[in-house]
Amino acid sequence: MDGQVSLVPLERIERAIIVVRGEKVILDSDLAKLYEVETGALNRAVKRNASRFPVDFMFQLTPEEAEILKCQIGISSSDHGGRRRSLPHAFTEQGVAMLSSVLNSDRAVAVNIGIMRAFVKLRQMLASNAELARKLEAMEKKYDAQFKVVFDAIRQLMSPPVKPKREIGFHVKSDDDKPRAKRR
């Protein structure tokens, strides 16, 4: 399986990783899609093996957390197009690793390898950014204020861009905004 191309693109896995309670997690519904099983089947397998999933491996979202995520990424519908009967479960990196032993299939093992690689890549990116910030701060202390503008510009480039919020509602163009017909 080492030489095999990943069953799931790394980008798809990376998009499934979200932060809840300060932890990088993947929701049960996203994992079920990756493993090509129903969310209910995944949760039943986890429930049968509950001792393998302590709270630092997996936790259930609170109603407030679920509502926030529902508004942000739309988690309300189940695999069958209806409403979920229970709150979503969030799996940490360790919980995802444990899933491969619970979901005993070749696909589960292959998908888990891809997920572990995505978590490692994310961790490396975060560590790299932190190291860069540390080096920048050291350089700033070493050099005088004449480079402050340069350091501020680099910091601005390192921070993620802030997307402008779109206005909600219907907007009518005024007569001033409309192109006028030419008169002869």
User: Do 46 and 102 form a contact (C-beta atoms < 8 A)?
Assistant: yes
Q: To the nearest 10°, the Cα dihedral for 12, 130, 22, 8?
A: 10
State yes or no: pLDDT of 63 exceeds 80: yes
Cβ neighbours of residue 181 closer than 8 Å, sequence gap 6 or more = none
Q: Please indicate, yes or no, whether the overall pTM of this predicted structure exceeds 0.85.
A: no
Section 15-32 average pLDDT? 89
Q: How far apart are CA 86 and CA 72, in angstroms?
A: 19
pLDDT band (50, 70, 90) for residue 52: very high
Residues 68-92 pLDDT 10s:
888 776 654 444 455 677 899 999 9
Residues 122-150 pLDDT 10s:
777 777 777 777 777 776 666 666 566 66
**Exposed / middle / buried, residue 70 (Cβ in 10 Å: 0-12, 13-18, 19+):** middle
- Three-state DSSP at 77 gives strand
**Exposed / middle / buried, residue 28 (Cβ in 10 Å: 0-12, 13-18, 19+):** buried
Per the document, the length of the chain is: 184
- Give whole-number Cα distances, 97 to 1, 90, 93, 121, 124, in Å: 17, 13, 6, 16, 18
Q: What is the mean pLDDT of the chain?
A: 77
State yes or no: pLDDT of 53 exceeds 70: yes
